[in-house]
Chain A
């Protein structure tokens, strides 16, 4: 981290981060659940690519493991788990509706991006010797905010699950620039956690579908104070 990194690697990482954000936007505004899942897989691939780029630029072997584990769990394992747990709901080509129209969602996303940027701005000058943090950390926080927004605004369970997954992507994207010493156990556990969450949520979706006949969790509102 002491050697200066080349401008080319900065540009490459910047482009990967821009693609990461675009794919996150794709998850947010996709009308079909399958399209959401595909965009999530592309986003996880962008995360892998960023980890590889940083591993090369910073000569950090740990990030190679991060890249491998991320690709295995998020691009390969999560879709398989979802197909097993809640296959018809996810892989049936059905349209998702939302509480807020797509143009309005995109505008709110733009405002959240500003919020995230200004939240991170005071932190960046204090990070010394971490050249890629200025790119990855704001992107990560923005994606966490967008994921939270997706969970809040979508009424469909699979879409909310996608929101949770892109939040995790965002948290990891933000941290690969600054954390190089995550112990192997922690890395593996955090990575395995994602398919487990997908599994449990998939099974829950299947139960919800069986009991209530649909997966539109936004309309479940029997529990409230009268």
Chain B
């Protein structure tokens, strides 16, 4: 096949990669957390069964809701698919859609999906979903400067905003990898993942108390295939952020350098291993920290912001 067709197939393969493996990632994360807490935990394939079950059920939709309510799960499901087309999932070279958008576009896509989901939460009149939506927007508003600073520092170092080129820059040499800006950006981005994905210490993913939910109240009103799409979309979003973290920032190696299917398959395996390591670390961090009180979240994100600012200023004054 000509390179263009190969790239297209690989790009679509990335989408399949996300859709197939994201419930597994979520299942493994859940299982590890419960094991650390001393419980035996549910099976790691449980999320697949939940999604399958939900697709088979009927939907109940409130009469007071509008088209936003019905549209939001589709947006939430599709957004990670678009994002994964732009980031290096298992190849080191840019693929067919790679130049469709850069990191700023990634941020924009996430913002669009968050916008619709939050609006849909307020759409039905359920008080808990509305409270959760407003809190999500608060956290998002505070996390926005951090996102921008991360993108800015990363692109400042790499002289480009395309994720593939950023990967190449970090992986170029050990002195690039170990520079302080890199370390600070990793730290800040990890804190961002915790905030954006609603993990402890920002929000409790396993909690069922609606009044304490921040981001996880978005799925309260959905049922049937909408609920399945929301669940699948949420898991895909976590996997996409994790992919950006491990492939672009932390370990920019091990990605396929050629289009040979052996290289691609081994790269997929390596990426899954890296995701496993990330999930383990995430589980450890989550189980050792306590959930922050709501008004302390601004301090948490302020620290992330300062770390990022520091990273940029180190680079700006040209120490290393």
Contact = CB atoms under 8 A, between A and B. Distances in A.
In the complex they form, whether A and B have CB atoms below 8 Å apart is answered with yes
B310 A14 contact: no
A37 interface: no
Nearest to B301: A103
Contacts of B183: 15, 18-19
Nearest to B320: A14
Interface in B255-310: 298-299, 302-303, 306-307, 309-310
B310 A18 contact: yes
Contacts of B310: 18, 21-22, 113
Given A11-B179, A15-B179, A22 B307 contact: yes
Interface string A1-23: 00000111011101101110110
A109 B313 CA distance: 14
B299 A103 contact: yes
Contacts of A106: 302-303, 306
Interface size class of B (residues with CB under 8 A): 20 to 34
B303 A14 contact: no
B187 interface: yes
Nearest to A104: B302
Interface string A99-134: 000110010011001000100000000000000001
A138 B320 CA distance: 13
A177 interface: no
Given A11-B175, A11-B179, A18 B306 contact: no
A19 B243 CA distance: 25
B176 interface: yes
A29 interface: yes
B68 to A, nearest CB: 34
Q: Is the interface of A mostly helix, strand, loop or mixed?
A: helix
Q: Is the interface of B mostly helix, strand, loop or mixed?
A: helix
Nearest to A102: B299
Interface in B167-205: 173-180, 182-184, 187
A78 interface: no
A135 interface: yes
B317 interface: yes
A212 B179 CA distance: 49
Interface string B146-185: 0000000000000000000000000001111111101110
A7 B320 CA distance: 9
B281 to A, nearest CB: 17
B317 to A, nearest CB: 7
A25 B178 contact: no
Contacts of A12: 178
Given A18-B310, A22-B307, A134-B319, A103 B179 contact: no
Contacts of A14: 178-180, 314, 319-320
B306 A110 contact: yes
Given A18-B183, A102-B299, A106-B303, A7 B175 contact: yes
Interface of A: 6-8, 10-12, 14-15, 17-19, 21-22, 25, 29, 102-103, 106, 109-110, 113, 117, 134-135, 138
Interface of B: 173-180, 182-184, 187, 298-299, 302-303, 306-307, 309-311, 313-314, 317, 319-320
Given A14-B314, A15-B179, A17-B180, 6 more contacts: A11-B178, A14-B319, A15-B178, A29-B303, A102-B302, A135-B319
15 contacts: A7-B173, A8-B174, A10-B175, A11-B179, A12-B178, A14-B179, A14-B180, A15-B179, A15-B182, A18-B184, A22-B184, A102-B302, A103-B298, A106-B302, A110-B309
